[in-house]
Amino acid sequence: MPIDMLGSANHAQLLSFAGFLPETKVETTSFASPNDLPRSLDFVRLTGILAHREVSVDQGSFELAVGAAKKALSRADIDARDIDLVINCSVSKMDGKLHQHLSPSFATLLANELQISGAQTFDVSNACAGMLTGLMIAESRIKSGQSKYALVVSGEHITPIIDEAKRRNLYLHPRAMASLTVGDGAAAYILGQSKEPGRIRFSEPFTMAQYNRHCIGQACKSHPGPQMRTRAKDLQSGVINNLGNFLKRSIDYMELKWDQIDHTYSHPTTPKAVKKGAKVAIEVMGEINFLHNNSAETGNTASTTHGVQLEISQNSGYLKADQTALLVSFGSGLAILAVHFKLPKGVENWS
Amino acid sequence: MLSWESKKIGYTGLLKSTLKLAKKAISNAGINPDDIGLIVHGGVFREHFRTEPAFATHIQGDLDIQCHGIGIDSQSCFAFDVTDGSCSPHVAIQSIADLLPALSSDYALLCIGDDRPTKYCDWEYESYCVVAVIGLSGDGPKCESIIHDNSNLIPNLTTTGYFDQSIKRNKFVNAGAVEFLGQQSSKNFFQGHQNWLSGKHMHEFLQLINKHDDTLEHCIVDRSGKSTTAKWVF
């Protein structure tokens, strides 16, 4: 430009987070039993996913996002009217009738629904890494003094890709297989100003675009709703082969000590994949204090996964104020980035 | 903004046009593709209503910018999309302003444009592709501020993709009727037509840059009524 939109230097912090899941639980064996799959594949054993959640008839990405946002606002104990930035990061933006929202931004409609007036609103699209990308932008706005309170939110209604995959002959369409790993869910985070530096830090963000055609989500050409095609094995290799250097660089860049990170969350494509990644992390960095690998009952909820996992950990009583958490995110493209933060005050008392 | 290129494109072919313009813009800025550390694309419509990965990752991949594994001291590039109806260009510029100072590179690529999602979609728009190289320093036009105004938002004026059962194909629909605001222009102010897409808004703005030597406010009013205004200093 040059860019001259940066104001005075502040610090940012996470004030609250929330994960929100629809009530309907669907067992993996009900649609992906060995009898349903090529070579009698044991999908549960292969992935570690036992079940996922699905929206009810009157729910879609929007309603899920609203649910998460309300919970996060209430936990942060701030008035919706104080929010001056809303970033939505949903990949799906799909309603219950399988219509895909395009314009204006989903964030604009969410702000309107939540009676957040006067806020800047827009959407970020970076696949499963969208939420951390949105958080990174929000943190930057707060640090530069352009924002006081930011809501970063996402609702994912993606389970229609399971139905699309089931309609295919998976012998002939093996790239549809990864579609069976997903679940619906939502997450929201509230960021605010802080006097304490370093309560939230981001890694260098990477896109390894040589993998940009390994996972494609788009409208199904023959039926209502979306479809996804994934070269899952190659994509996983892309992550595993680069994870060690990414972690080394990130921990250095964020000026952290690996053994002082209390809670670690990876993007859970599947619980089995997280275990593989953890093996690499342990070899390169040393033991992980507490790896939260708890997507067995939710599946991969795309951009909302970390929020959903944090919610499960919070509900289980594992999280305490001022403990630290590292979230590592991978998204189609292939985007890799991480965020480290101190858990918000009062997290152990949230209902 | 160190260099910029824009052109009208056909119904499709946004990626191909973006790549062509990006190469030109990068060369005119006097930098190498690998100097780019951030790519942000802004728009609404993508081919086949694609949702992932980000369009910007395709730009990065096809320009072969930092398409390698992560080394201990390798350079990196980060790519993602933003969208907010026709206001997407201003969101993209502001996102670059937010993130570029914290990255190891001094340059970002701003890419704006839309593809007709399928040939079954009614397409009343003129599609433009816009690419600009943005730097942390330099003598080009400087974006001083961007103001957002949602006060005139009419929330039911949405655009939605759907599967048309009668022809078994994907289309989109604009809900509600809008009496569009026309183009407005004065000495230091320019506002495009309310029914333009992002690319045309930026293209027409760029045509005015050389005619100004002080400031220019560029206002974009989206179909939904929300608006953004960027103040440029020359």
Answer yes or no: do A321 and A267 share one domain.
yes
pLDDT of the residue at A8: 47
Chain A residues with beta carbon closer than 8 angstroms to that of B164? none
**pLDDT over threshold 80, residue A292:** yes
pLDDT, tens digit (0-9, with 9 covering 90-100), for B164-191: 999 999 999 999 999 999 999 998 999 9
**pLDDT over threshold 50, residue A1:** no
Answer yes or no: is A255 within a domain.
yes
Instruction: Please give the Cα distance from A158 to A52 (Å, whole number).
Output: 11
Q: Tokens representing B221?
A: 């009013």
Answer yes or no: is A283 within a domain.
yes
Tally of domains within chain A? 2
Chain A residues with beta carbon closer than 8 angstroms to that of B159? 102-103
Answer yes or no: do A55 and A186 share one domain.
yes
Averaged pLDDT, A206-235? 96
Answer yes or no: is A6 within a domain.
no
Cβ(A301)–Cβ(A330) under 8 Å? no
Residue that terminates a domain, selected from A194, A229, A248: A194
Q: Is B70 in Cβ contact with A242 (below 8 Å)?
A: yes
Closest-approach residue (CA) in chain B for A143: B98
Mind giving me the DSSP string for A171-185? TT-GGGGGGGGB--E
Answer yes or no: is A4 within a domain.
no
pLDDT of the residue at A97: 94
Averaged pLDDT, B211-219? 90
Closest-approach residue (CA) in chain A for B97: A3
**pLDDT over threshold 50, residue A305:** yes
Answer yes or no: do A40 and A130 share one domain.
yes
Q: Is B153 on the interface with A (CB under 8 A)?
A: yes
Answer yes or no: is A316 within a domain.
yes
Answer yes or no: do A67 and A182 share one domain.
yes
The parent domain of residue A113 ranges over 11-194
Answer yes or no: do A173 and A277 share one domain.
no
Q: Tokens representing B160?
A: 């939605």
Answer yes or no: do A230 and A306 share one domain.
yes
Answer yes or no: do A248 and A303 share one domain.
yes
Answer yes or no: do A153 and A261 share one domain.
no
pLDDT, tens digit (0-9, with 9 covering 90-100), for B55-70: 999 999 999 999 999 9
Residue that terminates a domain, selected from A153, A179, A194: A194
Answer yes or no: do A41 and A167 share one domain.
yes
* Whole-complex ipTM: 0.97
Q: Is B57 in Cβ contact with A102 (below 8 Å)?
A: no
CATH number at residue A110: 3.40.47.10
Cβ(B57)–Cβ(B79) under 8 Å? yes
Answer yes or no: is A143 within a domain.
yes
- 3-class SS letters over chain A: CCCCCCCCCCEEEEEEEEEECCCEEEEHHHCCCHHHCHHHCCHHHHHCCCEEEECCCCCCHHHHHHHHHHHHHHHHCCCHHHCCEEEECCCCCECCCCCEEEECCHHHHHHHHCCCCCCEEEEEEECECHHHHHHHHHHHHHHCCCCCEEEEEEEECCCHHHHHHHHCCCCCCHHHHHHHHECCEEEEEEEEEECCCCCEEECCCEECHHHCCCEEEEECCCCCCEEEEECHHHHHHHHHHHHHHHHHHHHHHCCCCHHHCCEEEECCCCHHHHHHHHHHHHHHHCCCCCECCCCCCCCECHHHHHHHHHHHHHHCCCCCCCCEEEEEEEECCCEEEEEEEECCCCHHHCC
Chain A nearest-CA distance from B132, in A, is: 10
Averaged pLDDT, A24-36? 93
Answer yes or no: is A3 within a domain.
no
pLDDT of the residue at B193: 98
Residue that terminates a domain, selected from A153, A172, A194: A194
Averaged pLDDT, A100-128? 97
pLDDT of the residue at A243: 98
Q: Which domains does chain B have, with CATH numbers?
A: 3-139 (3.40.47.10), 145-233 (no CATH)
Going by their DSSP bridges, the two strands B3-9 and B189-191 should be labelled as unpaired
Answer yes or no: do A222 and A320 share one domain.
yes
Residue with tokens 């069976």: A180
Query: Which range (A95-104, A166-175, B48-57, B62-71) has the least confidence?
Result: A166-175
pLDDT of the residue at A9: 59
pLDDT, tens digit (0-9, with 9 covering 90-100), for B2-25: 999 999 998 779 999 999 999 999
Answer yes or no: do A323 and A225 share one domain.
yes
**pLDDT over threshold 70, residue A6:** no
Answer yes or no: do A154 and A300 share one domain.
no
Interface test with B, best of A62, A92, A98, A125 (most B CBs within 10 A): A125
Answer yes or no: is A1 within a domain.
no
Q: Is A119 in Cβ contact with B222 (below 8 Å)?
A: no
Question: How confident is residue A39, by pLDDT bands cut at 50, 70 and 90?
Answer: confident
Instruction: Please give the Cα distance from A47 to B10 (Å, whole number).
Output: 44
Q: Is B170 in Cβ contact with A212 (below 8 Å)?
A: no
Q: Is A333 in Cβ contact with B79 (below 8 Å)?
A: yes
- The pTM score is 0.97
**pLDDT over threshold 50, residue B226:** yes
Chain A residues with beta carbon closer than 8 angstroms to that of B226? 104, 108, 121
